[in-house]
Structure 1
């Protein structure tokens, strides 16, 4: 994601950390580089093994970074706890916190709970949490797509080829990489209601919405992008790439984040 070698220089405490928390997969390690001071935070629905080399990640809740756990038991609040745990462990301040896709709900909840360590929150083609509403609520009628595919007994929403199409992953190498590393979405992360004390733009931490404009199949974020663009409390950036821009357009994505 951006020029220069992948690095976590500057991430171990002190000011200037960036935490990148996202929906399902990490930046493609073979096609782009992560900007300096970017941290890939709570895995959320991503497989623990998906972290690319050179990127710092939040340890799993049992303290073993990369250790597998039961996705069917994950809830959104666990992912919030994971992000705050790495902020505390690394003594980070002045952090730019980035959430992609589902993880917009995570990062918004993180800052609602504790805004002090954060300089800015970036919603990268992401959902924006609202008090009392779940991810399914935020998606409206489109949420039925995910519920229809859920394995309720296992407590997960499995990855399928339609999802890869929706994310704009066209190159076979990208699709193969995601299949190897992604794990199912914990169903409870989509059905649990968020508990927010205020709107995300009222936290005192500046907010930016980055809207990906190339959607070959479906766009779940049009209404959110239009609302944030019209609201002077938000900064708005358009990125000419598909939903999984950090895989398909890593340099462009890095440039946007590095400029914040």
Structure 2
């Protein structure tokens, strides 16, 4: 049995993994899908002081208090930074990392340092009182009307500091096996380039950025490739 920890990206919550998580559980594995502070059902805790380090501490707390070991950490989009920093701080608890269309920086880099100019400009223009409102579902590849309604009803503002606070890495994370799942390989974000730069094994799943919403079965099948027998 494998313990998966599925970490959502910006504006989302643990809820976005529901269908993928259920498929992994049916295959006999243990699954956690935490919601990061200030988002989803924890939106009442939102504030300008919440940054990348807050979310890394959320994840470290889960690993510690659930006493999780030999974990597969799965980070979607923004959460690539979260899972890599958490793994760097507790490498003894992590067996693998899976980056799903995810951001990955070197020590001292923030998401805004990695992002293309148009995205940085949008962040600056959209931010109000330290929070970035969610964009329409179509920007993450979700276009089916029922899925659009489900997604947009649950997205919540993202603290701006999570995009500007730099990641802190010692280098320990580089010794952990990593797979990149590329859901929008021809899109405007540099996920494929980041995977190639880090030398990760890459698997293409060209379904749109929010693969856990659009194609949960296909994503679960990829995640199960790295599981131990149930």
> TM-score scaled to structure 1, two decimals?
0.76
How far is 1:27 from its partner?
3.1
- 1:108-187 equivalences in 2 (<5 Å): 108-141=84-117, 142-151=119-128, 153=129, 155-161=130-136, 164-187=137-160
Between the aligned partners of 2:6 and 2:202, the Cα distance in structure 1 is 18
SS in 1 for 2:104: coil
Between the aligned partners of 2:116 and 2:18, the Cα distance in structure 1 is 34
Number of corresponding residues: 218
Larger deviation, residues 34-43 vs 244-253: 34-43
Pair 1:94 & 2:70 matched: yes
Pair 1:76 & 2:52 matched: yes
8 Å CA contact 1:16–1:94 kept in 2: the answer is yes
Unaligned runs of 5+ in 1: 1-14, 49-65
Q: Displaced runs of 4+ in structure 1, greater than 6 A? A: none
Aligned to 1:208: 179
Pair 1:40 & 2:33 matched: yes
SS in 1 for 2:134: coil
* Match among 21, 30, 51 for residue 7 of structure 2: 21
* Match among 183, 189, 193 for residue 223 of structure 1: 193
Unaligned runs of 5+ in 2: none
If each structure's helix is expressed as a fraction of its own residues, which one has the higher value? 2
Q: Is the alpha carbon distance of 1:31 and 1:114 closer, same or farther for their aligned partners in structure 2, counting shifts above 3 Å?
A: closer
SS in 1 for 2:92: coil
Q: Is the alpha carbon distance of 1:212 and 1:167 closer, same or farther for their aligned partners in structure 2, counting shifts above 3 Å?
A: same
SS in 1 for 2:115: helix
Q: Give deviations 1:178-237, integer Å, cap 9, x for gaps.
A: 222111111000011112112742xx211111111466x644424224434xx2xx2221
Over the residues paired in the alignment, what is the CA RMSD in angstroms? Answer: 2.3
Q: Give deviations 1:115-166, integer Å, cap 9, x for gaps.
A: 0111101111100121111110011413222222111x2x1100132xx222
> TM-score scaled to structure 2, two decimals?
0.85
Q: Give deviations 1:9-46, integer Å, cap 9, x for gaps.
A: xxxxxx73110002033436479834122211242564
Pair 1:236 & 2:202 matched: yes
Between the aligned partners of 1:121 and 1:90, the Cα distance in structure 2 is 18
